[in-house]
Amino acid sequence: MKTISTTELETLLQSDETLNLIDVRETDEFAGGHIKQAKNVPLSEFGAKVDELDRSKPIHVICAAGGRSMNASAYLDSLGFDVINVDGGMMSWTGETV
């Protein structure tokens, strides 16, 4: 499975604001601050919502520290998605949040 750093993610977002970014933190965590382009799909609801994900381009997955996103990424990888885990999660993110 592919991984990128938060620094690499920030660079990608500067060149492609339509990047497919999924934040798997719970709703309250997401509401406390998230990357503008991120779509919230909490890990607790992930299995039920996986069919709603866009398979047309790679999916970048982020959480708080990297553990939940790694689990979600492994699951998506097993389903044949092109997935990239964001290593270090929001704890390593130094870019803007909303």
Ranges of beta strands (E only) in the chain are: 2-5, 20-23, 39-40, 59-62, 83-87
Active site residue 63: yes
Q: Which of 13, 22, 61, 63 is catalytic?
A: 63
3-state DSSP call for residue 7? Answer: helix
CA–CA dist 72, 68 (Å, integer): 6
- Round to whole Å and give the CA distance between 93 and 98: 13
Which residues are known to be catalytic?
Answer: 63
